A and B are shown apart, each in its own frame.
Chain A
Amino acid sequence: MPGRERTMSKEALLHRSRIVAELPRGESQSELLRELVGHLRQNRTLLREEWVRRIGEAHLLGAMSQEEIFQEATSVYDSYVAVLETGNVDDLTAYARNLSERIIPRGVETNEVVGIVLLLRDVLARSLFAKYQSDFEKLNRVLDAYEPAANRIANTVAVGFVQERERVIRQQQEAIRELSTPVLQVRERLLILPIIGVIDPQRARQLTEQLLRAIRTNRAKVVVIDITGVAAMDVTVANHLVQTVEASRLLGATVIVTGLSPEIAQTLVTIGVDLGKMNTVGDLQGGIEQAERLLGYKVVLS
C-alpha cells in the first residue's frame, strides 16, 4: 500500500522535526553524537594511549600484560565508539560477555572492569572539555548527548561482567554439588552413600532427596550411609540425618550409618540427639557385612 506508506513517513518526518525544534539552535542529538564520534575516531590513537596509561597508573588489570591490555583497550574503544554512533548495545554486550569469559579465569575483579570503563568515560569527557573549552554552550550540549550514552555503556559492560561471573559461580556450585553426593549401588538392592566434607542444611536436604529418589529407582532394601569423611555435625544436621533414616524406612529401606567419629559420637550424645532409632556400625566394612546379612547374602571363601 504505497499511500499508507507515504502518510506514515510524513508523520515520522513531522515527529522528527518536532524533536529537532525542541533542541536549542536546531542541532539534533544525533548530529551532536555524529560530531562526537568523528572527534573520537580522529583522536583514536591519542585517546587510547591516554586511557591505557591511566589504567596502568590506577594499577588495574594487574593480571594482564601491557600488550594484552592495549589490545583489549583497542577493541573496547572501538566498540565504545560504535555504540555511541549506532546506539545499539547488542554487539558490545556480546563483546563484554566474551571478554569476561576470557578474563574471569585469570582473576580479574569486578572493581577493575568497572574501573577501566569509568576511566575511559573520564578520558573521553576530558578530551571533550579540551575541544570545546571556548564554546561553553556547545560543550554543555555535547555532554548532554554524551553522558547518557556513556553511562549506558558502562552499565552494559559491568552488568555483562557480573552476569558472566554469576553464571560461572552457578555452574561451579552445581558441579560441586553433583560431585559431592554420589549414591552407589554395590549389590542388588544395596546402596552406599559416602558423605565427605561439610554438611550444611542445604546439602543435607539435597542428600536426602537424592537418596530417597535412588532408593526408589534402584529398588533398594538396605542403604549404608558412611560419614567417615564428615568432620563435624551440629544439631540441625544430626536431626536431618535421623529424618532421612525415618523417611527411608517409610520407603521400605533399612538404613545403616557407619563411620561415626569419636568426636561426632561425643557431640551427639552431649547435645542429646535421639539416635535410638538408628542402626549404627563402626566402619564401612562392618556396615556392608551387616547389610549383606540383612539381604540374605552369605560370603564364602572359595
Chain B
Amino acid sequence: MQVPILKQGDVLIATIQAALSDADLLELRSALVQQVVRFRSAGVIVDVTAMDVMDSFASRTLLEISHMIRLRGADTVIVGIQPEVAFAMVQLGLTLEDIPTALDLEEGLAYLQHRSRTIN
C-alpha cells in the first residue's frame, strides 16, 4: 500500500493510513528523500496516527528517514503517535531519540513554522 505525500507550502506531509509492510516503509523512505529536494521543501511531517503497532523496523526506518532528510537539508517531525503505542515503544527501547515529535499534524506544522522563523 502506497503512502500519499502531499505538498503544503514548503512542507511535505506523508500520512500513513494503515499498517505498512517493510517494503512499503522502504518505498516511503526513498520517495520522501527524493521529493524533499525536488519540491525544495524545508520540512517533512510523517503522520503515524493510524499506526497501532510500531515495531523495531518501522521505528528504525523513521529514524533513517529523519537522518537522510537532515542530510538533504530539511527537518522531519513525526506526529500522531498514539499513547499506547508510545508506551510500548519506550518499553522496547525504541525512543526515536533526537527526532522531533509532535501531538498531531497541526502541532507538527506549528513546530516547523516556529523553527523556520527562528532560523531566518
Contact = CB atoms under 8 A, between A and B. Distances in A.
Nearest to A212: B83
Given A215-B103, A216-B103, A219-B103, A251 B91 contact: no
A276 to B, nearest CB: 11
Contacts of A35: none
B116 interface: no
A253 B87 contact: no
A247 B101 contact: no
A219 B87 CA distance: 17
Given A215-B103, A219-B103, A246-B95, A251 B83 contact: yes
A247 B90 contact: yes
Interface in A214-261: 215-216, 219, 221, 243, 246-253
A216 B83 contact: yes
A209 interface: yes
Contacts of B107: 219, 221, 252
A10 interface: no
Chain A interface size band reads 10 to 19
Contacts of B68: none
A251 B48 CA distance: 11
Contact of A252 (B87, B91, B103): B103
Interface in B61-120: 78-79, 81, 83-84, 86-87, 89-91, 95-96, 101-103, 107, 111
Contacts of A93: none
Given A216-B83, A246-B95, A251 B103 contact: yes
A213 interface: yes
11 contacts: A208-B87, A215-B83, A246-B90, A247-B86, A247-B89, A250-B90, A250-B96, A250-B101, A251-B86, A252-B101, A252-B111
Given A251-B83, A252-B103, 13 more contacts: A209-B83, A209-B87, A212-B86, A213-B83, A215-B83, A243-B90, A247-B83, A247-B90, A248-B86, A250-B81, A250-B90, A251-B81, A252-B111
The 10 closest A-B pairs by CB, nearest first: A212-B83, A252-B102, A250-B86, A247-B86, A252-B103, A243-B90, A247-B90, A246-B90, A246-B95, A247-B87
